[in-house]
A and B are shown apart, each in its own frame.
Chain A
Amino acid sequence: MKKKTDASIDTKKDPWYKNAKTQKKLFLFLALLPGFGGYLVFVLYPNILSVWYSLLSWDGLSKPIFVGLHNYKILFTDQFVWRAMKHNLIIMLVVPPLTVLISVVLAYLITNKHYKENKIHEVMYFIPNVLSSVVVALMWRFIYDGDYGLLNGFLRLFGVNAQTYWLGEESTALAAVMVPMIWASVGFYIIIYMNAMKSIPASLYESAILDGASSMTQLFKITLPLIWGVVRVTLLLMMVGSLKGFDTILVLTGGGPAGATDVIGLYMYNTAFGKTATSQFHQYGYASAIGMFLFVILVTCKGLMDKFLPNEDIQF
């Protein structure tokens, strides 16, 4: 059999599509296309378009009119925007910390205290998380009802003559809407923190016990530092959610009473789509400007969080 020599090697090149590198790149491209394509079409493109819309006066029907920065000028002098931001700030300072606190404590108890009924606790705490936000809001609406609500009924058991319309009073409405937000989220974060805690080696706790560390010491000196990375990410998610979200408030109070629970996301939504007698005329331009403002706020908050809550992972 004739051996192939260098001189007799076939010098004809393979077609480009047979090239291994090309095929690898093509495969990667096709694998990423659906996800990335969806992101481009349904997220990036509309957001870029929103920047353009924020420079227009447009009700969605008539011809858009370019107004430049007019919408932004109104935004910065709009008392409703700043009031909504104030409410968002309050929610951001209350809901995420309380959610983390409750979730960490409960996750710690379930992970480290080996109660027989731990599994039942896990399921119970997670149930609110599988309910939609509308269902949660409607449930709490009934709990808060002034005449037949569970809360007032519970208070009457202790002799308190409660007739408070928790969602109808400006002094109580904001606090009232925060409770279901915390209640609905805790279960999800318990599961996340539990999984993070389970990855901590038991030997660390054993050593700590031998050294005489109490449960609280173990929690603050071992558990929290070692799951800090996870807690930080969840804090970021909750912070973004508290700035953007408004579904629970929309169902519970619609932003009332008298704007006491109005938040920036809801104001933006009502500006674009809100319907009252005279609000059948939508304002997509101004709503887009509010959206751009919210985007800047979110990016700023992320930056502040990176600065003041650095991601210091402790390795064990």
Chain B
Amino acid sequence: MKNFKRYICLALTTLLVFTLFTGCKKEEDKGKDTGDKTKTEEKYENGLPKDQKVVLKCGFFETGELKKHMEYAMESFTKAYPNVTFDPLFSPSIGDITQPRIAANDDNEMFDIFSCMGLTELELVKNNKLESLEDLWDKSPQDTPDKSLKDLAQPGVYENAKRTEGKTYQLPWGTFVGGMFFDESLFDKNGWNKTPKTWDEFVKLCDDIKKTGINPIVYPGVYAGYLTAYAFNPKMFELADINGDLKGFTERFQTGAKPYYNSPESLEVYKRMAELGKKGYFAPGIAALNHTQAQMMVLQGRAAMVPCGDWIETEMKDATPEGFKWGYMAVPVRDKEDQNLYYQGGQTDSVFIWANKPDLNKAWAKQFLLWLWTQDVQKVDAEIGVLSIRKDFNAVDSYSDSKRKISQYVKDMDAKMVDDGYYKSWPKDPAAKQADKLWSENLVNMTLGKKDYVEVLNKCEEYMDKARAAEK
């Protein structure tokens, strides 16, 4: 009896170990041609085989609406190409999930396609982790075979696409816009200027608003970057353009090269913000406000303008009162109308393709990125509040009211988009972090005129000098 029990235990253990090993399959076997080589493969128009099953692992940034768009894109792609399926993972902190996978250096566990959020492109390119997507600009989306992405892209998108060492590694599929948002009904009621064309006009607008007892501008002091990222950082590019140094400034801005914090453009922009602050154009208590509170002040009519991204309408839709209409403007720092006006814009959650995957996986991943540019998928983007990447977008009615106004504003003002959130590289030394901390802690006081912006920005630049020196 004892021996019988022993043999049963041994048999069960052997079975358990055996099943563990048979459950594993090499990822490299997936996507490889395992079919009968004597049979001719059937292929799609894109030249890829119909009979080889491919599963694309994806890691996407999640907000409620963006998830809907990606799910639709994946579903429709699989309908068109049944041999390709997806294994998606959505997360609002997808960068925190992707980073450890990259650090683990396991290509099998890594995503085929993944959001760029929170990742440093330069380091990934240096380590040959990313697939170049530069060739896609000459390819066509599946519904427009006679035009390339280059031809279809909105003005400036192809030329200003994020590139590392001259190549595109993240392909945009939509754009977003940042700037000053306001209640158009309130502006119309008071006869305020909705499209100030110069700095003087903007200051006069703030003055007109202040006279009625409403705070001209409110921004969330808890999140330092809202005022600068959405409204005033693009103004540095505007000034650089006026000064004839746009290319040089852009390069320095995107790499943290000297001068960064105390460049002439930066000092001028902070001077203007301090000017607004000293005149009392910013709402009181700003330092304590988060973005929801700041945006609520505009909805309640206690403040006139708030810097934000174009998702503000969707974000605040449940709290928006009857009759409220969102309006948009880019703050002008130019002195003359014939100078260029810049507004903040960027790519909506671009995606990378991991380089160390089977060729068939990568080929299908590229096809999926082209699929995101089709009119059908772009229409779903528009419905969730993303501005189309295509200049021939044929479903403008799908846009919300505010998006239509943004499109119209950009067209009427002939405004140029600049992505001030894109950084090619950044010094890694802790001194760079200290510079950022000093800047973010003093931003509110600099804009209110309570702290000398020159002194603070010079100190930040000193920290950056230490960081740059440590890198050498």
Contacts and interface: CB of A to CB of B under 8 A. Distances in A.
Nearest to B300: A147
B428 A258 contact: no
Interface stretch (B149-157, B160-168, B392-400, B431-439): B431-439
Contact of B423 (A144, A255, A278): A278
> Chain B: interface secondary structure?
helix
A280 interface: yes
Contacts of A285: 430
Given A271-B430, A271-B433, A281-B120, A144 B288 contact: yes
B85 interface: no
A186 interface: no
Interface residues on chain B, size class:
35 or more
B426 interface: yes
A275 interface: yes
B123 interface: yes
A10 B261 CA distance: 89
Nearest to A65: B428
B38 to A, nearest CB: 46
Contacts of A44: none
Given A165-B284, A258-B442, A278-B423, A57 B228 contact: no
B222 interface: yes
Contact of A258 (B96, B256, B436, B441): B441
Contacts, number: 113
Given A62-B123, A62-B126, A80-B437, A280 B423 contact: yes
A286 interface: yes
B467 to A, nearest CB: 10
A276 B287 contact: no
A279 interface: yes
Contact of B120 (A169, A276, A280): A280
Contacts of B437: 80, 259, 270
B288 to A, nearest CB: 3
A200 interface: no
Contacts of B225: 276-277
A168 interface: yes
Contacts of A273: 96
A277 B234 CA distance: 13
Contacts of B440: 276
Interface residues of A, number: 43
B288 A253 contact: yes
A74 B123 CA distance: 24
Nearest to B445: A258
Contacts of A254: 222-223
B120 A61 contact: yes
Nearest to B302: A147
A131 B124 CA distance: 42
Nearest to A254: B222
B289 A59 contact: no
A60 interface: yes
A256 B118 contact: no
A292 to B, nearest CB: 14
B454 interface: no
Given A271-B433, A279-B433, A280-B118, 6 more contacts: A59-B120, A70-B470, A147-B285, A273-B96, A278-B426, A281-B432
* Cβ-closest 8 pairs across A and B: A168-B288, A165-B285, A257-B287, A168-B287, A286-B430, A62-B123, A167-B288, A259-B441
17 contacts: A57-B429, A61-B120, A63-B127, A70-B470, A71-B430, A74-B431, A168-B221, A254-B223, A258-B445, A259-B437, A259-B441, A276-B440, A280-B426, A281-B428, A281-B432, A283-B433, A285-B430
Interface of B: 96, 99-100, 102-103, 118-120, 123-124, 126-127, 221-225, 228-229, 233, 256, 284-289, 293, 302, 420-421, 423, 426, 428-434, 436-437, 440-442, 444-445, 470
